[in-house]
């Protein structure tokens, strides 16, 4: 009896030795950044930064002063196919491994493809269980994907890390909108709103953020500059920040920093005509002056608050005008109306594409300055 039991136990071991879906590190390739763009002959080109785990393990991947130039922590792999999935599987031919998407942090969309519409290509990135909705979505502006992915990395061992770190500091920068797959798909799939994505470009062989890509549903239709991106973020961004350069009436330059802003978009229906007010209340900090006027004098202080509000209004207005010009409802005005007044929305939604560009949008900003650093008066020569 005991012997039989032992045999059964041993026999069981054969079936307990592992997992059917196991993937060993040396059988797969981890992709960290994926770029897709159009290739000739109606094909898609998929370019990926494939992580070299060996390099990531070395003590200082980005540091060191080796004479032969530092070793990269990734390789680039490119494949073409009629669809993203086919291109992905074609990578096997080149790499000898299957690409594993669990650790993909960023998807870069080529400009050509983005203008054509990206919905058909996003399906696979959401449908496959490996993929994550947190994956960042960026658009290559005036740059080829291959060049972007081969760009010189400055501090971090790979591009994904650089992009993620930049997003970590997006409040300080104030000019970066972080958009992940979930946000893009959600806005794309909702009537009365259009998505955006961060734009990246190549500058002196380095990848850099360059404003915001504006989509009309899934088609790229234009760009917001840094100036407009800031305005856009004031109105709809999560925890906006960034610096605001303005001046005293006599022209002396001052720099303020936005520390908090809360915005509300309010629709108003008047005789079947809809208009919107964007109300923003902001808080800021006095950061820098180039002149001799003392900001801590209360008259000056409130003057600066007005200047800050005026500058922010200007920026938000610029973003609104650009978006309306492009016919892309990136502020989600339609959806705001839908939530507030579903009946009115029902009558307008059929023609929203025509109504939206002409809709009146007012911008009202109130700003409060709270701190001014450890100087009471500016340092000036006498």
Question: Is residue 370 part of the contact set for another protein (CB under 8 A)?
Answer: no
Q: How far is the CB of 21 from another protein (least distance, A)?
A: 4
Residue number with CB closer to another protein (248 or 276): 276
Residue number with CB closer to another protein (304 or 337): 337
Question: Is residue 189 part of the contact set for another protein (CB under 8 A)?
Answer: yes
Task: Report CA torsion sign: 132, 136, 137, 143.
Answer: negative
Question: Is residue 33 part of the contact set for another protein (CB under 8 A)?
Answer: no
Question: Is residue 260 part of the contact set for another protein (CB under 8 A)?
Answer: no
Q: Which stretch binds another protein (CB under 8 A): 34-42, 181-189, 244-252, 371-379?
A: 181-189
Question: Is residue 20 part of the contact set for another protein (CB under 8 A)?
Answer: yes
Residues in region 110-129 near another protein by CB under 8 A: 129
Binding mask 319-338 for another protein (x = CB under 8 A): -------------------x
* Contact residue for another protein among 73, 185, 197, 363 (CB under 8 A): 185
Residue number with CB closer to another protein (253 or 346): 346
* Contact residue for another protein among 94, 147, 186, 371 (CB under 8 A): 186
Residue number with CB closer to another protein (37 or 180): 180
Question: Is residue 7 part of the contact set for another protein (CB under 8 A)?
Answer: no
Please tell me the distance from the alpha carbon of residue 14 to that of residue 17, in angstroms, as a whole number: 6
Task: Report CA torsion sign: 35, 101, 71, 208.
Answer: positive
* Contact residue for another protein among 134, 253, 262, 306 (CB under 8 A): 134
Q: Which two tokens stand for residue 330?
A: 């990136």
Question: Is residue 190 part of the contact set for another protein (CB under 8 A)?
Answer: yes
Question: Is residue 18 part of the contact set for another protein (CB under 8 A)?
Answer: no
- Report how far apart, in Å, the C-alpha atoms of 41 and of each of 45, 119, 340, 343 are: 11, 20, 47, 47
Q: How far is the CB of 130 from another protein (least distance, A)?
A: 9
Say how far residue 170 (Cα) sits from the centre of its chain.
10
Question: Is residue 132 part of the contact set for another protein (CB under 8 A)?
Answer: yes
Question: Is residue 182 part of the contact set for another protein (CB under 8 A)?
Answer: yes
Q: Which two tokens stand for residue 155?
A: 């501090």
Q: How far is the CB of 241 from another protein (least distance, A)?
A: 17
Residues in region 336-355 near another protein by CB under 8 A: 338-340, 342
- How many chain residues interact with another protein (CB under 8 A)? 17
Say how far residue 278 (Cα) sits from the centre of its chain.
22
Residue number with CB closer to another protein (224 or 236): 236
Q: Which stretch binds another protein (CB under 8 A): 57-65, 179-187, 203-211, 267-275?
A: 179-187
Residue number with CB closer to another protein (172 or 375): 172
The residues binding another protein (CB under 8 A) are: 19-21, 129, 132-134, 164, 182, 185-186, 189-190, 338-340, 342
């Amino acid at each position: 009896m005991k012997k039989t039991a032992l045999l059964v136990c041993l026999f069981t071991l054969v079936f307990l030795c592992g997992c059917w879906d196991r993937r060993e590190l040396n059988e797969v390739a981890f992709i960290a950044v994926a770029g897709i763009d159009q290739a000739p002959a109606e094909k898609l080109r998929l370019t990926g930064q494939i992580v070299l785990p060996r390099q990531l393990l070395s003590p200082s991947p980005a540091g060191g002063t080796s004479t032969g130039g530092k070793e990269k922590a990734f390789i680039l792999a490119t494949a073409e196919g009629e669809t993203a999935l086919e291109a992905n599987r074609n990578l096997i031919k080149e790499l000898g491994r299957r690409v594993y998407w669990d650790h993909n942090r960023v998807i870069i969309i080529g400009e050509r493809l983005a203008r054509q519409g990206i919905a058909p290509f996003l399906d696979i990135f959401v449908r496959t269980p490996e993929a994550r909705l947190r994956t960042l979505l960026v658009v290559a502006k005036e740059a080829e994907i291959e060049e972007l992915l081969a760009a010189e990395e400055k501090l971090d061992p790979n591009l994904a890390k650089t992009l993620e770190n930049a997003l970590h500091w997006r409040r300080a920068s104030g000019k970066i909108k972080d958009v992940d797959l979930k946000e893009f798909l959600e806005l794309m799939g909702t009537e009365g709103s259009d998505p955006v994505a961060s734009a990246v470009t190549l500058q002196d062989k380095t990848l850099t953020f360059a404003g915001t890509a504006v989509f009309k549903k899934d088609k790229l239709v234009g760009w917001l500059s840094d100036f407009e991106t800031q305005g856009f973020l004031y109105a709809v961004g999560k925890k906006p920040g960034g610096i605001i350069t303005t001046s005293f009436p006599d022209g002396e330059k001052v720099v303020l920093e936005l520390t908090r802003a809360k915005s509300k978009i309010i629709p108003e229906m008047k005789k079947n005509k809809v208009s919107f007010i964007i109300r923003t209340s902001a808080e800021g900090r006095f950061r820098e002056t180039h002149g001799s006027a003392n900001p801590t004098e209360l008259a000056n202080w409130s003057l600066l608050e007005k200047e800050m509000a005026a500058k922010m209004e200007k920026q938000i207005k610029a973003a609104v005008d650009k978006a309306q010009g492009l016919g892309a409802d990136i502020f989600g005005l339609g959806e705001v109306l839908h939530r507030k007044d579903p009946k009115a929305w029902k009558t307008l939604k059929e023609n929203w594409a025509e109504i939206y560009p002409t809709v009146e949008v007012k911008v009202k900003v109130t700003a409060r300055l709270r701190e001014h650093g450890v100087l009471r008066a500016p340092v000036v020569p006498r």
